Structure 1
Amino acid sequence: MPSDTLPPAPSPARADLYGAIAGSAATLQAQYLGSRGQRQQAHARGQLAVLRRSAGFTPEQHPLALQSVLDSLHPLLEDGELGTGDTASRSERAAFDAMCMFALHMQSATRPMHVSGRSFGSAMGMLRIRNDSGSLKPRFDALLAARNERARLTHARSLVTLLRGEQIGLDYGRFAQDLRTLASSARGGVLLRWGRDFAVMPRRERERDQTSEPTSITATTTP
């Protein structure tokens, strides 16, 4: 072998939809919040601004935005998740919508908005506890009752801005998986789970508060 022959470049890490979105969101938010230094923070701010401007479009309407989303993923999507024709695959579409909403969610954030393990429905239930003006449940119900994918996404983006206002995060890897399922005939299961989490979360929080209250001890005196 000639001495000037370079070794092959290592293949970039790849993951399924959950791993790609969860890993990318965690990295971007760490950079944005400043834990990786000022240079990385500036990079994340610029990348999130590009993604934020793409919210509300479809990949076909804004091909450059899809390119930006795919380029922002580290790890990358596995080959089986990528499209091969002139339309975006379901995984690409879900990645596009999830990352654009994550960028909306992170705007002016001072804490992580990607929170592993917390579903969209649970996040909305937490919002209901913290700041329920009476209009939240009708808005959440409108999302569950929406008759098409674009209407659901419009409602979801609106609700994400409310979560941003209270700095309540959610698991974006799981959210991306749910968005992909919502585009299929199995959407009813996701909507059922979101509705359950929305209803149950306030009750769980109340029970947690009650069990964490200190037990009052009444002092007695000997006659």
Structure 2
Amino acid sequence: MTTTVSIPTVRARAGAVTGRLITQLQNDHLADRPHAVAALARLRRGAGKEFAQVPDLWGLLDTGPLHEPPADGGRPLNEKELSRAEDAVHVAATLWALHQQSRPRGMHQPDRREKPRGLGAAVRRLMPPGDIAEPVLKRFVRAGNAPDLATLAQRLRDIVVLLRGDDIELDYGLLAEQLCHWQEPGGRDAARRAWGRSFQAYRTPAEAAAGSRTPSPTETIDTSKDAS
């Protein structure tokens, strides 16, 4: 009998590292531990920016596990893979720090089947049940059509500010995984599909009970246009 060992992908490793880092910081911040409060204040300054744009944050997040071979097998990441993973961790963690600001409970929460917390589901929760809020949708579409990671980070920042205002949680480990995938060759379409699927699949409990359908973005806005 042959046993197959599942080796984590680059994006899965980025997501796992992000989830561990944020969970620890979040717990410490909610416990009002000074080092976590100070770390969040610093991280917020990097929200909407790439890793290379904020050298004063280098070393604040322990991305050491990305530099090591997986414990269950596999090779070390090459330079391109490491850069993608580090950028994904940085963008996700800094956006979370902005999201967590002044919130009394954790804004990073795991995505679950019964409680979807992917990006698309979070954006859908910003809208009235059974309806589409065009200004919110336009922000979502603009993020999906971002031409590079720096622009994507900035447009996600705008969405996170809205999520914070409505106390809507997001799975930042999952977001980091998707941001890493977004940077891979051919990965942008896959990441967009995941965000769109998350948006379309979300139902409020009342909508689920009634069997209602989430309106398609194309019924309200031309998603092929980047409303810059």
TM-score bracket for this pair, using the shorter chain length: 0.7 to 0.9
The answer for the alignment partner of 2:48 in structure 1 is 56
For the residues of structure 2 that align with 1:193 and 1:85, how far apart are their CA atoms? 26
The answer for the alignment partner of 2:160 in structure 1 is 160
Aligned partners of 1:142 and 1:155 also within 8 Å: yes
Aligned partners of 1:83 and 1:89 also within 8 Å: no
Show the 5 A alignment for 1:72-83. 76-80=65-69
Aligned partners of 1:94 and 1:176 also within 8 Å: yes
* CA deviation map 1:10-68 (0-9, x unaligned): xxxxx93222211121121112222xxx4x2x221111111111223332232231321
For the residues of structure 2 that align with 1:166 and 1:19, how far apart are their CA atoms? 26
Note the C-alpha offset of 1:86: 11
Show the 5 A alignment for 1:122-141. 122-129=121-128, 134-141=134-141
Aligned partners of 1:16 and 1:78 also within 8 Å: no
Task: Report runs of 4+ in structure 1 exceeding 4 Å deviation.
Answer: 80-88, 130-133
* CA shift in 2, pair 1:156/1:76, >3 Å: same
| TM-score using structure 2 length | 0.72
1:28 matches 2:25: yes
| TM-score using structure 1 length | 0.73
Show the 5 A alignment for 1:125-204. 125-129=124-128, 134-184=134-184, 185-201=186-202, 203-204=203-204
Report how many aligned residue pairs link the two structures: 188
The answer for the alignment partner of 1:218 in structure 2 is none
Q: Pairwise CA RMSD of aligned residues?
A: 2.9
The answer for the alignment partner of 2:13 in structure 1 is 16
* CA shift in 2, pair 1:60/1:87, >3 Å: farther
User: Whose radius of gyration is greater, 1 or 2?
Assistant: 1
Note the C-alpha offset of 1:69: 2.4
For the residues of structure 1 that align with 2:142 and 2:197, how far apart are their CA atoms? 15
* Candidates 90, 96, 101, aligned match of 2:95: 101
For the residues of structure 1 that align with 2:132 and 2:156, how far apart are their CA atoms? 17
Give the residue type in structure 2 aligned to 1:200: A
Note the C-alpha offset of 1:96: 0.8
Aligned partners of 1:33 and 1:111 also within 8 Å: yes
* CA deviation map 1:176-209 (0-9, x unaligned): 01111111221101101201211231x4544335
* CA shift in 2, pair 1:207/1:179, >3 Å: same
Aligned partners of 2:15 and 2:89 also within 8 Å: no
Q: Which residues of structure 1 form unaligned runs of 5+?
A: 1-14, 212-223
* Candidates 106, 114, 126, aligned match of 1:112: 106
